[in-house]
Amino acid sequence: QKEVEQDPGPLSVPEGAIVSLNCTYSNSAFQYFMWYRQYSRKGPELLMYTYSSGNKEDGRFTAQVDKSSKYISLFIRDSQPSDSATYLCAMSPPAAGNKLTFGGGTRVLVKP
Amino acid sequence: EAGVTQFPSHSVIEKGQTVTLRCDPISGHDNLYWYRRVMGKEIKFLLHFVKESKQDESGMPNNRFLAERTGGTYSTLKVQPAELEDSGVYFCASSQGHTSGSYEQYFGPGTRLTVT
């Protein structure tokens, strides 16, 4: 069983809709949670970085962490065609500078 | 501010040959990481430098892989001799670390390695 599970998609939504993404994990030691966006043939771009449980909002993006359920989510409001990309969740234990464990990524397609 | 850069962007080599990948982290970032994504799999950790010291190399697949970070600036990852299963995209990432308390990792564009 993988440490981090993420539905590969593709997830297709109309422009303006809310995109809802999630990951589940098995390692209760994970304390830092990140969401990256990756366009084709590019490197992962950091979108959100959260610590422990709770919500964090940044513009159109909202990240949620539920440690009791080992479940994290990313919501993208007012989605745009430029949001079409692969979204990767990543997480790490609390030790400073620790290595990231990634999900496989969800491909999102926002149709105009 | 320049981001993480990697060179080359793409390398095609034959089995048994040697390849050296280079990563230049964001200036001032003490932490440097190497990751790899092989076809159909998730991105996986290879190793972590703090300045010039190897902090964690638990993800290095075998002794055909050698990473260095001389002077705590750029890093190289050498694969010698390359095998078919080494094909994939090699990513480098960096973070500031203790000086700022910021551990967000910023990734480079990756080097796509194809071993034939």
The candidate with the shortest Cα–Cα distance to A101, out of B61, B108, B45, is B45
pLDDT band at B96 (very low <50, low <70, confident <90, very high): confident
Write the pLDDT tens digit of every residue in A15-70.
Answer: 999 999 999 999 999 999 999 999 999 999 999 988 888 899 999 999 999 999 99
- Interface membership of A7 toward B (CB under 8 Å): no
Judged by CB atoms closer than 8 Å, whether chains meet at B43 and A44 is answered as yes
What confidence tens digit (pLDDT) does each residue in B8-64 have? 999 999 999 999 999 999 998 999 999 999 998 999 999 999 999 999 999 999 999
Cis amide linkage into residue B8, ω under 30° from 0: yes
Closest CA to B104 of A49, A63, A57: A49
Q: Are A101 and B45 an interchain contact pair (Cβ–Cβ within 8 Å)?
A: yes
Q: At B97, is the pLDDT very low, low, confident or very high (cuts 50, 70, 90)? A: confident
Strands B5-7 and B19-24: antiparallel
- Measured distance CA(B49)–CA(B72) in Å, rounded: 8
- The separation between CA B90 and the C-alpha centre of its own chain, rounded to angstroms, equals 6
